[in-house]
Amino acid sequence: MDEKLETLRQWIAESHNIVFFGGAGVSTESGIPDFRSVDGLYNQQYAYPPETIISHSFYVRYPEEFYRFYKDRMLFADAKPNAAHRALAKLEADGRLKAVITQNIDGLHQMAGSREVLELHGSVHRNYCTRCGKFYSLDDVIRSEGVPRCDCGGTVKPDVVLYEEGLDSNTLEKSVRYIRQADMLIIGGTSLVVYPAAGLIDYYRGSKLVLINKDATARDSQADLVINGRIGEVLGAVSGVQ
């Protein structure tokens, strides 16, 4: 492990156009459960499967049930950035990291100080009235009872990509551009099984593809460096961030 960490440290020092692509594993160290882990949302007991509840059609048909689950199991307002978030913000401040591309919806990268964050699946911090478009904050949603309603009477919907909804094309296109131009791509905290997001790895053209994940992924054979470990511990160690 020490040899791999030293290689990662050296590659970062040599690079000036790093892109980071991360998944749920980046946030688990902040106390936010992974959807697919043993203790994740998919293994909890609810009247409906979580995949069904957080789908667009379920939201439209049963908004009360959707919001009961959403507020209880998907909002973690007290979560704080961990060493991975802080390390990435430091790399950006140092001029080495150009963008963070994330599948997470918690806003922790921005809280840590990252500025160029592409949120593939949206954010719980942005919520809009489906009738008039008025913006509502995360606190507004948390404080609401039942289904949050706008002053105009419309339903407030989180700016989060639900099942059956497509990713934002502008965010996706921008992510592809960053990855194509990167001289180093670090992928962390993701099993690379959720598409189309996982397919972004195929746009990388460089020779420093790093995969950091607690478990093996189906893409390990494509990587130039594979580190099996906790993303916060690994990035914290190579960047000097606790």
Q: What is the mean pLDDT of residues 54-82?
A: 95
Q: What b/e readout covers 31-54, taking b as 16+ CB neighbours within 10 angstroms?
A: ebbbbebeeebeeeeeeeebebbb
Q: Is the confidence at residue 235, as pLDDT, over 70?
A: yes
The strand ranges marked E within the chain are 18-22, 97-102, 117-119, 122-129, 135-136, 156-160, 184-188, 209-213, 225-228
What confidence score (pLDDT) does residue 46 get? 72
Pairing of strands 184-188, 117-119: unpaired
* pLDDT confidence of residue 14: 97
Query: Is 129 a known ligand-binding residue?
Result: yes
152 is in an annotated binding site: yes
What confidence category does residue 218 fall into, taking pLDDT thresholds of 50, 70 and 90?
Answer: confident
Domain assignments of the chain as residue spans, ordered by start = 1-32+81-121+168-239, 41-74
Model-level pTM? 0.94
| Segment among 36-40, 151-155, 211-215 with least mean pLDDT | 36-40
- Give catalytic status of residue 121 as yes or no: yes
Any idea which fold 1-32+81-121+168-239 has? Rossmann fold (3.40.50)
Q: Which of 85, 109, 121, 125 is catalytic?
A: 121
Relative orientation angle of helices 2-14 and 231-239, to the nearest 10 degrees: 60
Q: In this predicted model, which residue has the larger pLDDT, 4 or 42?
A: 4
212 annotated ligand binder:
no
**Residue 103 and residue 197 in contact, taking contact as beta carbons nearer than 8 Å:** yes
pLDDT per position as a tens digit, 131-159: 999 999 999 999 999 999 999 999 999 99
pLDDT reading at 37 higher than 90: no
The pLDDT value given to residue 49: 85
